[in-house]
Amino acid sequence: MVSARRLTPLQALGLTALAVALSQGLLLGLAGVRMLRGVPWDAAARAVSFDAFSLAACAFLGFGAAILVGLRKLRPSPITGCRDLAGRLELELRPAPVMILATVAGLALQLPLAEIGNVVQELVPRGVAERLAELERLRAEDPLEGLGLALAFVVVAPLVEEALFRGVILPGLAEDQLANVPKAIVGSALLFAVMHVRADAVVYAFAAGLVLGAVRVWTGSLLPCVALHAANNAVPLLFPPAVLRLEGFNVVREEVLHVPAAPLIASLVVAVVALGALAQLEDAE
């Protein structure tokens, strides 16, 4: 039998770089269009980076192109029709309990991941202005902006990022060898983390990538990963400071703040229980 072709680590890195370069290049292009209309470059770049619809469109196109390149590399053999782990992007709908547990885990993981970022910021500080700008980017002034933020961060980003890192790169690195799966989970998580650039984001994205990779292997489908990722991204939109002020999550001061112990431990317990139940549920099948 002719097995499906695999990805080398260098090719996986190349796909990640391609996705980031294309999406960022498109954003720069949109900023350039604004500049040609007389808007100063700084203002044009800021406007584009704060426009959720632009972020969604550029991520969809940039990552989409990289995903298509990756799928072409991983396509099943036209002779055998082989569809093993490395040969397909699985988007199979899983039972409702699986999707619910993945969603609950994603919601609950937000605070533990935020706290990981806080700890890293103690070692690699970030300016107050940068942290405030990050919160401002997630604030909607009207329903249309809210719709754009949901589209960009809850729909498009989870879908395209999971399709690339857990749908193409993870199985591509694993090939059809079960022994390679743990290495593939770590490798895909590393590339997912590096994409985030900023030190605190790199560390918590790596932790999230490990969880998402495990869910991908446990469930045999990309959709629970998308649900977990989307739920995690939705939390800052559902609970802005005007709705819930929580130190270490959405309150910015000169010093680094940490998530209070009670909500942090509670959310961590919920996440662990949900993930454990998800793993057992899939094992039982």
pLDDT in tens, 189-241: 999 999 998 999 999 999 999 999 999 999 989 999 999 999 999 999 999 99
Quote the mean pLDDT of the chain: 89
Nearest to residue 217, comparing CAs of 275, 158, 156?
275
45: CB partners within 8 A, 6+ apart: 28, 31
Q: Output phi, psi for 61, to 5 deg.
A: -75, -45
- pLDDT reported for residue 4: 44
pTM flag (> 0.85):
yes
pLDDT in tens, 235-269: 999 999 989 999 999 998 989 999 999 999 999 99
258: CB partners within 8 A, 6+ apart: 115, 118, 119, 247, 248
Cβ-based burial of 141 (10 A; exposed 0-12, middle 13-18, buried ≥19): exposed
Q: What angle do CA 206, 130, 236 make, to 5 degrees?
A: 60
Q: What's the count of helices (H) and strands (E) in the chain, helices before strands?
A: 12, 0
Q: How confident is the model at residue 33 (pLDDT cuts 50, 70, 90)?
A: very high
- pLDDT reported for residue 179: 59
- pLDDT reported for residue 150: 96
Is the dihedral angle over the CA atoms 145, 147, 233, 214 positive or is it negative? negative
For residue 252, the tally of other CB atoms under 10 A from its CB is 17
- pLDDT reported for residue 285: 58
AA identity, residue 179: A
- pLDDT reported for residue 89: 64
Domain boundaries in the chain? 89-284
Task: Evaluate if residue 110 carries a pLDDT over 90.
Answer: yes
CB 117 within 8 A of CB 201: yes
Task: Evaluate if residue 3 carries a pLDDT over 70.
Answer: no
Task: Evaluate if residue 284 carries a pLDDT over 90.
Answer: no
